Structure 1
Amino acid sequence: MSSIADLVILSGGWRRRLIAFLAGASGALALAPFNVFLAMFIPMTAAVWLIDGAAESKPAPAKSGRPAFRSTALKNAFGIGWWWGFGYFIAGLWWLGAAFLVQPDDFAWALPLGVIGLPAGLAFFPALGFALARLFWAPGPSRILALAAGLGFSEWLRGHVLTGFPWNAYGMALGDHLLLAQFAAIGGLYGLTVLAIAIFAAPALFADRKAVPGRRLLQRIPAGLVVAALILAGLAGFGAVRLATGKTATIASVKVRIMQPNLPQDAKFSPENRDTIVNRYLRLSDRSTGPGHTGLADVNLLVWPESAFPFILSDEPQALAKIGNALPAGTVLVTGAARIETTTGADGKPHTDFLNSIQVLMHGGLILDTYDKLHLVPFGEYMPFAGLLDRLGIRQFVDIPGGFRAGMNHTLLSLPGLPMAAPLICYEAIFPEEVAAAVRAGPSRPGFLINVTNDAWFGHTPGPYQHLAEARLQTIEEGLPLIRAANTGISAIIDPYGRIEAQLGLQEDGVVDGALPKKIAPPPFTHAPELAGILAWLSALGASLLLRRFV
């Protein structure tokens, strides 16, 4: 171990950057769909040694006459952290390139911007994390917690700056393993991330102890590594107890059906195929899957995915009537559907706004309730710096004139005869604070989360698996079950402990049937969701400073 550490610490130039890039990239193996839990030890352990080697061998002179040692070390840590993060994000997000090839004539030219440009931009967050860690760096075990504090804080920033993008947070190496993920009920995604960094970086301490002849193996194990192993065991034990005592209860009277049409994001999904698409949805929705599931007559809640129609449903009375007549009197349909609003602008002229929405329908085609998506996807649903980019001929993936307009506020969905639901469209389900705000939008706590999405843009890649894992973690944080409808998958019914009760795989068409799980008492995380990540970061930083002083 010491020889490997020396190789990393003493490396320089392109070799050092290559080591950082490859180490970061290996972390993607710890994420869905691979879930090689042990793989995260590689990037985090390497991160410690890379920061160890960030200092110059001797301080450089500064204009003030004082040594520039610290500034040089911070600059080196920032630079090597960028290469480490670049590898991590390229390996974890390469599948975004699939979206550019859905309409290759329009977007293939921009493929490098998504596959290389976005990871290059995101890499500035771990670069900052490395620099922050180096600021509090000291020999010994305190530097493990300094890394957890630095990277943990930069991950929190990544989830909030410029609309935020917390996809593939380091904590997901633990968060996609049900036993270990239960800690999210206390610390949430960012608390889990701080713990994950500290646990997976702990093996770096092995290199601090040189081999001594005659010393037994157990005597050579660093105390910090023992503590990390105990924390990991504690997480597993806590999860085991929580899952064993948290039995899944269901509302037996509520029968849920999720329809997964598996429609490709291509020319088949176009307005001229309106009738074919609606007929397909209704045929799948009324499919018999067994004695207890003979069709729509047995269903209380039917859920269709995001943007289910290549037309404005509320402006198509024939389609509304066809769907409404197919719904039994006791069946509620929750579906994704774009809608429009016409308003009068300051210039006195009418303006048409498009919104990505969820709508609630009942027998007869009556639209009972609507939720409009608040957190839009940059470059997918709207264009930042739209005026400039429009002049350059660059448009968003969803070709809506002017892009979508964001909704005004979070609202709960009122579902006749059913518990109220907190709606989440697409990647809104990966933001802990966004989900918390949705849950708190009504006078009382909702009965469940409902997430509609369309991952057809990304084909058979890791993207849809990662999306499911991120959404599932929200059930543990909030103590609420999740009903998830995805166009091409993965659709699922998930209980408030993150257990998947029923699901339909990627790129399959069909239905998912099941009872609605009951919510549980609000977990500790729900009492301060905005503070959980900051408290975890402050705890790591405080512990690092204490260790630095006393150990």
Structure 2
Amino acid sequence: MERLAGRIMLLWGVRRALLAIVAGAIGALALPPIGFFAALFVSFTLLVWLLDGVTGNPDRRHSFGLRSAFLTGWLFGFGYFVAGLWWLGNALLVEADEFAWALPLAIVGLPAVLAIFYGLATLVARLLWSDGWGRLAALAVGFGLAEWLRGFVATGFPWNAIGYGAMPIPLMMQSAHVIGVLGVTTLAVFAFSAPALIGTRKGMVPGLAVAALLLAAHLGYGAWRLSLPVENRPDTASLNIRLVQPVVDQARKIENVERVEIFNEHLALSAQPSAPGKPRPDIIVWPETSVPFILTENPDALARIGDLLQDGQVLITGAVRSEDRGAGLAPRYYNSVYLIDDKGQMLAASDKVHLTPFGEYVPYEDILRRLGFDNVISLPGGFSAASQRSMLTLPSGIGLYPLICYEIIFPDEWTDDLREAKALLNITNDAWFGVSPGPYQHFLQARIRAVETGLPLIRDANNGISALIDPYGRILSGLALNSRGVVDSTISVESVPERYRMSTRHNFWYVFFAITAIAAISRAGFIFGKN
């Protein structure tokens, strides 16, 4: 092990660059659908040794060392994001004649940009680097900071944060309830890096002991929380829900010539009788933009929805909403979710707040449109972002917190309405990504939001993965990718103390500053020890 570590530290040039890329790509094996979390032990062990190779004199902060550390992290991130996000190119192939030219930008260009954050992570780590187990804390600080920045810089794209690789199953998800995915990421990087100490020996015993303690706490807390009895509290209510997964090919939706047929397919699936032993659903859920026309301009469609629904039933559906801006101005369009009752009346609506770049809008539009960039979804001017999210309140008074499509990947965008919500609602259309890792990765991130907030999740997708998920991330029932049909199930909703919903963002910073203190003390001890 020591010989291997020494050889990796001494690598230079192309071989060093290739190993950094491979190390990142190995880490992507921890992501869905593979979910082999142990791959991250290999990935981060290699990264530590590579950084040891550029920090031979950590007390000398010369620009060469900083550039080398940044480049090592960038190459690592490039490998990780190419291996984890290559499937994004599928969205461009839906209309290949118009967008195929942009495939290199999706498969290589976006990972190259996202890798900058991991370059910053290793740059920060370089500034705090020491020769003992404290350097694991330095790397954890760098990645914790990088993933936090990735959540909001340039509107944010926190997809596939390292922490998700440490949470492939419910047993390993429960830590997110306390410290969130960012806190899990920070501590996971420390633990995943620990085997590097075996190859360098210094600080091996305390470093491995701390890593083992973190892993034991991670698994132990998960086992304890999952063992808790389900309490029947007085304020508990049950919702009988039908998820409709129509599996409408994305090309059919874009061609815009089968709108009536697509609408009829949704109605037919929704009208199926309940399975033996299953109660009649109170709520029927359709996926994102499932209604292929403007509902407010089509009273016949609303009437047919009213005819479909039995007394007391409601439909939740995704649809495009238009907003007239007056004479001479093009309307605004919103990606919305509606709540419709058995009379065909709209009881509530919520518009998407966080739009998908290049899918629903073009960032830096004035510049990029001149360079030929456009939205994948064809609407005049693209979609508009709502100024705020609106709760969907059922006739029973139960509030659902709506998150449309990839809004659910953002762990730190909750509003005060979350305190009153009894469940999360996520409607999406992952048909853009075909049969690829994309829908599986999206699904995992949605499950982690349920664990973080302590709320059940109602998730409905066009082609999968649709499911009802409990507050522990466990799947109660669902439909697999590309499985056309409906699933009926019941979830319990109850009031959850506010501290369980809003405290993870604060707890992450407690973890972050504690790890930073360890790294800083180790760094200071190393410098003074040299002197």
TM-score category (smaller protein): over 0.9
Distance 2:218 2:498 in 1: 16
Within-5 A mapping of 1:269-308: 270-293=255-278, 298-308=280-290
Instruction: Work out which of the residue numbers 301, 306, 313 in structure 1 matches 2:295.
Output: 313
**In structure 2, C-alpha distance between the alignment counterparts of 1:118 and 1:248, rounded to whole Å:** 46
CA deviation string 1:359-413 (max 9, x = no partner): 0101121111110000000100001122333334431011010010001212211
Shift of 1:89: 0.3
Judge conservation of contact 2:180–2:505 (CA < 8 Å) in 1: no
One of 417, 437, 449 as aligned partner of 1:441:
417
1:176-195 alignment to 2 at 5 Å?
176-195=168-187
CA displacement at 1:414 relative to structure 2: 1.4
Note the residue ranges of structure 1 that are not aligned, 5 or more in a row: 60-66, 211-219
Contact 1:249–1:517 under 8 Å retained in 2: no
Q: Corresponding residue for 1:535?
A: 510
Relative distance call for 1:271 and 1:323 in structure 2 (3 A) is: farther
Task: Give the Cα–Cα distance (whole angstroms) in 2 for the partners of residues 353 and 523 of structure 1.
Answer: 36
**Offset of 1:248 from its aligned partner?**
7.5
- Give the letter for the 1:280 counterpart: E
**Partners of 1:268 and 1:401 in 2: how far apart?**
17
SS at the partner of 1:441? helix
The separation in 1 between residues aligned to 2:103 and 2:291, in whole angstroms, is: 27
Q: Deviations over 1:228-280 (max 9, x none)?
A: 11210111111101110153869675211110001110035544312211211
Say yes or no: does 1:94 pair with 2:118: no
| Aligned residue number for residue 122 of structure 1 | 114
Q: Secondary structure at the match of 2:160?
A: coil
Report the alpha carbon displacement of residue 320 of structure 1 after superposing the two structures with TM.
1.5
Conservation of the 8 A alpha-carbon contact between 2:140 and 2:190: yes
Give the conservation status (yes or no) of the 8 Å contact 1:125–1:158: yes
Secondary structure in structure 2 of the residue aligned to 1:522: coil
Contact 1:308 1:337 in 2 (8 A): yes
CA contact (8 A) 1:284 1:510 kept: yes
- 1:226 corresponds in structure 2 to 209
1:31 equivalent in structure 2: 31
1:200 corresponds to = 192
Q: In the alignment, which residue of structure 2 is the partner of 1:368?
A: 347
Deviations 1:192-247 (A, max 9, x none): 0001100100000001229xxxxxxxxx9623112211210111111101110153
Matches within 5 A, 1:60-459: 69-209=61-201, 222-247=205-230, 253-267=238-252, 270-293=255-278, 298-344=280-326, 349-417=328-396, 419-434=398-413, 436-437=414-415, 440-441=416-417, 445-459=420-434
- Kept in 2: contact 1:259–1:304 (CA 8 A): yes
Aligned residue in 2 for 1:4: 4
> For the structure 1 residues 139 and 68, does the alpha-carbon distance in structure 2 shift closer, same or farther, using more than 3 Å as the test?
closer
Residues 71 and 516 (structure 1), Cα distance of their counterparts in 2 relative to 1, 3 Å cut: same
1:511 Cα offset (Å) = 1.0
What one-letter code is carried by the residue in structure 2 that aligns with 1:366? Q
* Count of aligned pairs: 524
Paired with 1:35 and 1:173, the residues of 2 have a C-alpha distance of: 7
- Take 1:534 and 1:182, find their aligned partners in 2: how far apart are those partners? 18
CA distance in 1: counterparts of 2:50 and 2:2, whole angstroms = 14
- The 3-state SS of whatever aligns with 1:259 is strand
- Secondary structure, aligned partner of 1:432: coil
Q: For the Cα contact (< 8 Å) 1:496–1:517, is it kept in 2?
A: no
Amino acid at match of 2:209: V
> Structure 1 residue 549: deviation in Å?
4.8
Give the SS at the match of 1:81.
helix
Residues of 2 paired with 1:32 and 1:522: CA distance?
A: 31
Q: CA shift at 1:533, angstroms?
A: 3.1
- Looking at structure 1, the residues matched to 43 and 452 of structure 2 have their Cα atoms a distance apart, in angstroms, of 26
Alignment partners' CA distance in 2, 1:162 and 1:547: 34
1:46 matched residue in structure 2: 46
Query: Which residue identity lines up with residue 536 of structure 1 in the other structure?
Result: V
Q: Letter of the aligned partner of 1:167 in structure 2? A: W
SS at match of 1:343: coil
Offset from partner CA, 1:300-329 (integer Å, 9 cap, x none): 011100011221122112212111111112
Please tell me whether the aligned partners of residues 178 and 503 of structure 2 are also in contact (alpha carbons under 8 angstroms): no
Are residues 138 and 38 of structure 1, via their aligned partners in 2, closer, same or farther at CA, if it must alter by over 3 Å?
A: same
Residues 55, 129 of structure 2: 8 Å contact kept: no
After alignment, is 238-247 or 421-430 more displaced? 238-247
Counterpart amino acid of 1:203?
P
| 1:160 Cα offset (Å) | 1.4
Query: 1:495-514 counterparts in 2 under 5 A?
Result: 495-514=470-489
In the alignment, residue 383 of structure 2 is paired with which amino acid? F
CA gap of 1:524–1:2, structure 2 versus 1, over 3 A, is farther
Measure the CA separation in 2 of the matches of 1:475 and 1:126.
27
Residues in 2 aligned to 1:456 and 1:37: alpha-carbon distance in whole angstroms: 27
Identity %: 45
Alpha carbons of 1:289 and 1:414: their partners in 2 closer, same or farther (altered >3 Å)?
Answer: closer
More divergent stretch after superposition (333-342 vs 263-272): 263-272
The Cα of 1:545 is off from its aligned counterpart by 2.1
Q: Which residue identity lines up with residue 200 of structure 2 in the other structure?
A: D
